[in-house]
Amino acid sequence: MRHNPALTDGHHIQLIEGGQAYFESLIQALDQAQSHVLLETYIFDVHGAAVGVAEALERAAQRGVRVWLLVDGVGTPKWPDVWRARLEQAGVECRIYLPLGTLGLLIPSRWRRLHRKLCVVDGHTAFCGGINILDDWYDPHHGTLARPRLDFAVRAQGDLVGHIQDSMAQLWWRLQGAQHARDRQIPQAWRSFKAAGLPLPWKQSPPLPDGSLPSSRAALLLRDNVLHRNQIERAYLKAIGLARHDVLIANAYFLPGRRLRQALVHAARRGVRVRLLVQGRYEYFMQYHAARPVYGILLAAGVEIYQYDASFLHAKVAVVDAHHERPWATVGSSNLDPLSLLLAREANVVVADRVFAQGLHLRLSDVIATQSTPVAESFKHRFWHQRWRDRVAFGLMRLALFITGHRY
């Protein structure tokens, strides 16, 4: 079992809330790119504000920047033909991670999705978080939203940018190698797999000066099915176990396993204030209902649970002891549910910086106070049919885990 990477000094980490601010920062970086751009996302929906990101990728490729774009085959099963043609004509190299094929998700191995949201520009600037390339005011299943979804990302400079880039490049080359192998192009497959272990050959541009950001200790956490099976879960367990004052978690699809549940219960029982902000608006049957049976255990231990009612909650963030001597925060793509922690490729950035942690803590506390409601009373007085749906969803989730051979 590999240990989590150590936090290192000298990073510049900027918290970004919402798709609009994220797209503005991302487009600015793309328009300044000189050498290369790597972008991974679960959903790339070319609609509304997300069109600006597609246009920025197109502009970068047209001026000679090497652009790699990787999207997931479930989150983005089909590109609009017009946009795929435009991007490829401009020179953008587009790939779909694990297309579903005829049988789709009936094959359990295809439940292992690419859920990371990462971008690296010229090897010196990176983005990591939970925000898809998807307009904040629009949902592919629900149409126009009355309020934007709540989500976060970070813009980073420092050593972890190289770690993000290496991870993205390795995945790209392995996918290339696998495709060549399927096409029986053995020499090309060998070259791609060999390239997966080498640094990118592109020229690294010097970082852009940004004196407005303080220097922070930070690290990149990954989750995959080979070398990094439980980095993110271990980081949460350690942070919660060391908490002395408060734990604040905002997570869209919250269904913690036994170890995470116990860590939260033990923290609450030793006097730590533990608050959870979860999805209030109904989105998916499994994720919404399967989490409810867990609430009773946590509420009985003194954990405060709030549901976000203003719009869809998509955040995957947490902050521990923000106002004390060992602040810890994380922003990323990983939910605290079995799909993220056992199956998907995920990426989180961990930051040990008081200013950053306090900023995230203040924002989440405000959302809880002004846009959320406690679930304790409504949970206690659920109707029988609500309890029945909760148990069915929880049972189906356990069955799915049994099929994949995982315990959670």
Q: Are 305 and 374 a contacting pair, CB within 8 Å?
A: yes
Among 314, 337, 361, 390, the active-site one is 314
Among 11, 12, 36, 117, the active-site one is 117
Among 45, 122, 135, 224, the active-site one is 122
Cα–Cα distance, 152 to 29 (Å, whole number): 18
Is 115 among the catalytic positions? yes
Token digits of residue 210: 């940004």
Q: What is the 3-state secondary structure (H, E, C) of the chain?
A: CCCCCCCEEEEEEEEEECHHHHHHHHHHHHHCCCCEEEEEECCECCCCCHHHHHHHHHHHHHCCCEEEEEEECCCCCCCCHHHHHHHHHHCCEEEEECCCCCCHHHCHHHHCCECCCEEEECCCEEEEECCCECCCCEECCCEECCCCCECEEEEEECHHHHHHHHHHHHHHHHHHHHHHHHCCCHHHHHHHHHHCCCCCCCCCCCCCCCCCCCEEEEEEEEECCCCCCCHHHHHHHHHHHHCCCEEEEEECCCCCCHHHHHHHHHHHHCCCEEEEEEECCCCCHHHHHHCHHHHHHHHHCCCEEEEECCCCECCEEEEECCCCCCCEEEEECCCCCHHHHHHCEEEEEEEECHHHHHHHHHHHHHHHHHHEEECHHHHHCCCHHHHHHHHHHHHHHHHHHHHHCCCC
Among 246, 316, 353, 361, the active-site one is 316
Among 136, 321, 337, 353, the active-site one is 321
Is 117 among the catalytic positions? yes
Is 316 among the catalytic positions? yes
Q: Using CA atoms of 153, 30, 94, 201 in order, give the dihedral in degrees to the nearest 10.
A: -100
Among 11, 12, 36, 115, the active-site one is 115
Residues annotated as part of the active site:
115, 117, 122, 314, 316, 321
